Amino acid sequence: MLAFVDESGDAGLRPEKGASLYFTVALVTFVDHREAEACDRRIAALRSELRKPDGFEFHFHRNSHGVRMRFLEAVAPFGFAYHALTVSKDARLLGGNETFQGYTCRRLFETAGPHLADAIVVLDDCGEGSFLRELKRYLRDRAAADGQRLARAIRMERSRSNNLLQLADYVAGVVNRTACRKRGAGEYLAWIASREIPRQVWP
């Protein structure tokens, strides 16, 4: 199995200072490597169809509505699934000494973990730094604590050069936009909703 992880929304806990209200992490999985490769090729072909340069990155937050719709339509036929966790960033709701990022990692992998025993997990090397550090630490500490790995391997790659990390970015962006009840969220979600493994929204 292949799994690709990305996030939407920053990890700051001060919305009054400009931080986002919600933080969403999405984990996109492919059981069949050939299906993942086919999806990767389709995204590359779409870039050409849109007359974008080879280095163009499909990034939900930065792309136009038209590009978003073309991307979601292009990936919809492929056999992927996704787990998503959206956290409302109220610091008063976080108990004990656990960090916000640590809490998010733990909750996501408590749900997704059983599906990842033999997975190669790919993280966005350009994502929110503190979150990615917490995620890598969580995966490694968990393996050391109980002797059971949560994934076969963990890799860091740049999303600009990995089409399937760009897919994970899109999934996270769509789910986060839905949580924020922003305009057009339902139109985007309709393309991928059938691939969702029940989403968590906390609290």
Q: What is the pLDDT of residues 111-136, one digit of tens each?
A: 787 777 788 989 887 755 567 667 77
The larger pLDDT score, comparing residue 112 to residue 198, is at 112
- Looking at residue 130, its pLDDT comes to 63
- Looking at residue 118, its pLDDT comes to 80
* Terminal-to-terminal C-alpha distance of the chain: 30
Which range among 21-25, 76-80, 144-148, 169-173 shows the weakest confidence by mean pLDDT?
144-148
Q: Is the pLDDT of residue 93 over 80?
A: no
- Looking at residue 107, its pLDDT comes to 80
Mean of pLDDT values over 131-146: 69
User: What pTM was computed for the model?
Assistant: 0.87
**How far from 7 is each of 48, 105, 148, CA to CA, in Å?**
26, 11, 25
- Looking at residue 174, its pLDDT comes to 97
Residue 183's domain comprises: 2-202
- What is the rounded radius of gyration, in angstroms, for the C-alpha atoms of the chain? 16
- Looking at residue 139, its pLDDT comes to 72
Give CA 124 to chain center in angstroms.
9
Question: Which of 15-19, 63-67, 89-93, 176-180 ranks highest by mean pLDDT?
Answer: 63-67
Query: What does the block give as tokens for 196?
Result: 């969702």
Query: What does the block give as tokens for 121?
Result: 């997990």
Into how many domains does the chain fold?
Answer: 1
12: exposed, middle or buried (Cβ count in 10 Å: 0-12, 13-18, 19+)? middle
CATH number of the domain where residue 188 is located = 3.30.420
- Looking at residue 108, its pLDDT comes to 80
Q: What is the pLDDT of residues 167-187, one digit of tens each?
A: 999 999 999 999 989 999 999
